[in-house]
Structure 1
Amino acid sequence: MLYKALRKPPERVIAREVVPGREAARTVRGMARTSRAIAPTNVRRRRLGAELRRLRESMKLSMQDAADVLDKTAQTISNMERGRYGVSKAELEKLLVVYGATQEERETLESLRRDGAKRGWWSTYGLPDWAKPYVGLETDAVAVRNAEPLIIPGLMQTASYAEAIHLVARQATPPEQVAKRVDVRIQRARRLHDAEPLELWAIVGEEALRREVGGAQVMTEQLDHILSLLELPNVTLQVLPLSHGAHPCMAGGLVLLRFADPLDPPLGYLEYPLGAHVVEDDEAVRRLETLFDDLRALALDPRASVRLITTIRDEYRRRTGGS
């Protein structure tokens, strides 16, 4: 299975003193220096940009040289090569002539340009601009690692839990948009059941399991849903217990995305109440990967996690009159 190494247990625990909240805050501040506010992008657009950069550099041309061809700025070329800006067919043809691209390269890159310009299934759901690109990147990913200390991961949420979360997040979700946002979340989760399913490794704080979102019945159904997902071979979850105390991700959650083609480097994603950042810098992504591995080492193993989830589910169930 793709990225099987993702499912290996952590081999080490980094021993260091962790001051509550300080380590996580330091990590997030570091990410902010190497992240960017989300702008439209997807894997095909990123691949096209990388190939354009390779061809330009093979001809020993500067960004300004390329910008002069299109009567643009060097910053525009930089954004194109990083997948932030789309490239029109005419612009692509002009660049490929100057870059001396072969016919095969021209056809391949035009295909990438055309596919990268297509609207995704989520484009009609009224998502905020900062959220649209992430959904596209997640759709292209083959593996997701998600650490959430305070909330159930989006890919594992039931409709009722997701609705309750969106209803209280008035600053981010207008009431009339709640149903569409919930629908998008459910649509995304269907990939866990595909013939070639999305790999998901989640680390969830025990407080997320115990925080009563939507009432005891909603939480009973939510934890039942998680337990059913954990029967899938492509889904793993570890609980970070409250008894552990401070941990290095107390400032919020993180997501790491991996893609099928090794030419497409992994990405990080950090979300906050009014927006989000995609983390593209290689070193910053490696730091997030180390942080995730540290959390895996601190969390309960998958079997112990299932036992704890079952215990908490049963507590909620008894409160609803069930047994």
Structure 2
Amino acid sequence: MAGTARQVHLGRKLKELRHAAGLSLEQVSEHVERSRSAVGHWERGFTRIGAQDLAAVLRLYETDEELTEQLQTLRRESGKRGWWHSYKLPPYMTPFIGFEAEASEVFHFELGIVPGLLQTESYARAVHESGRLVLSDEELREWVDARLKRQERLDKGGGLTLHAVIAEEAVRRVVGSPGVMAEQLEHLQRVCKKPSLKLQVLPFDAGAHVGAHGPITVLRFPDAGHGDVAFSDTPLGGHVIDDLRDVAELSRLFAELKAQALPERESVAMLSSIRDAHATRSKE
């Protein structure tokens, strides 16, 4: 299981440096007198590399003084616990939330539900209650509270911009109750006024699309040296995707979905209409 976001990022940088140096895992493991699996775990972010081991590896790669200090700083910071560690979340989520906490932009497509960063408390609770895991009341409260905490970065000064494309199915499907849906869509209409949110709806009329197999999430960072990462969420769990080609392909797919979706103003108008339909049903 991967460690913190910084640990995963450091591992990715070490792998890039090893490839640039033309060295194999075996050659590095012999140089630092560690097992091949240990070096592989460092690169995948599974385990935290020690300061002396990192220094030895960087000498082997002949990195300059500035980069060496940057990576040593990243190693030290990789041991810090973020706010999300105080919540009882599934282990596979913690690296992703760590990356999200440092990202400057999120590009997110959802097919069947409203994105987590835009969910109301009632909607989030209903999603988790019908999820793949059976949660205790305490776990459910923790998961919902953590989801709401993540949304704070969309507030003024939070430093995060969300580019969201939501399939029409997600806003028409009743999650919880028609009343919960009316409240959720009213919330979407309000948050659309935030400069930090660029929301579009992908209508049924758009026909077939590249997002038919599920959600897409790509994170971008203010540090140009920190490549984009993506996240895959499946019925068996989730994992961070950091292969450059895979992330680039997911970014391309998101761009296609964005191009097929309604413009922001028309999207808000559709949300208003669907919200009214849910509100009417809630009174029946």
Q: Which residue does the alignment assign to 1:108?
A: 70
Match of 1:274 in 2: 236
Structure 2 residue aligned with 1:316, among 269, 274, 278? 278
Task: Identify the residue that residue 220 of structure 1 maps to in structure 2.
Answer: 182
| DSSP 3-state at the match of 1:165 | helix
Deviation at 1:191, TM superposition (A): 0.4
Q: Deviations over 1:291-313 (max 9, x none)?
A: 11111121111111000001111
The 5-angstrom pairing of residues 240-255 of structure 1 reads 240-255=202-217
Q: Distance in 2 between matches of 1:206 and 1:100?
A: 53
Q: Percent identity?
A: 37
For the residues of structure 2 that align with 1:296 and 1:164, how far apart are their CA atoms? 27
- Matching residue of 1:40: 3
Q: SS at 2:72's partner residue?
A: helix
Report the counterpart of residue 265 of structure 2 in structure 1.
303
Identify if the C-alpha distance between structure 1 residues 274 and 89 changes in structure 2 by more than 3 Å, giving closer, same or farther: same
Contact residue 172 and residue 274 of structure 1 kept, 8 A: no
1:203 is paired with a residue whose SS is: strand
Task: Classify 1:55/1:144 alpha carbon distance in 2 versus 1 (closer, same or farther; 3 Å).
Answer: closer
Corresponding residue of 1:163: 125
Give matches, 1:30-179, under 5 Å.
39-42=2-5, 44-53=6-15, 62-96=24-58, 98=60, 105-169=67-131, 171-176=132-137, 177-179=139-141
Structure number with the bigger relative contact order (C-alpha 8 A, sep ≥ 6) is 1
Match of 2:254 in 1: 292
Please give the secondary structure, in 1, of the residue aligned with 2:166: strand
Cα displacement string for residues 240-298 of structure 1 (whole angstroms, at most 9, x for unaligned residues): 11233332211211101111112111112121123013222222112111211111121
Q: Is the 8 A contact 2:109 2:166 kept in 1?
A: yes
Alignment TM-score, normalising by the size of structure 1: 0.79
Rounded Cα–Cα distance in structure 1 between residues aligned with 2:12 and 2:253 = 27
Partner of 2:160 in structure 1?
198
- Flag structure 2 segments of 5+ consecutive residues without an equivalent: none
Aligned positions, number: 283
**Which structure 1 residue ranges, 5 or more long, are not aligned?**
1-37
Alpha carbons of structure 1 residues 100 and 308: separation in structure 2 relative to 1, 3 Å: closer
Give the SS at the match of 2:165: strand
The answer (yes or no) to whether the contact 1:41–1:85 under 8 Å persists in 2 is no
Contact 2:108/2:218 (CA < 8 Å) preserved in 1? yes
Q: CA deviation at 1:61?
A: 5.2
Partner Cα separation in structure 1 for residue 104 and residue 134 of structure 2 = 28
Residues 291 and 63 from structure 1, CA distance in 2 versus in 1: closer, same or farther, beyond 3 angstroms? same
Corresponding residue for 2:218? 256
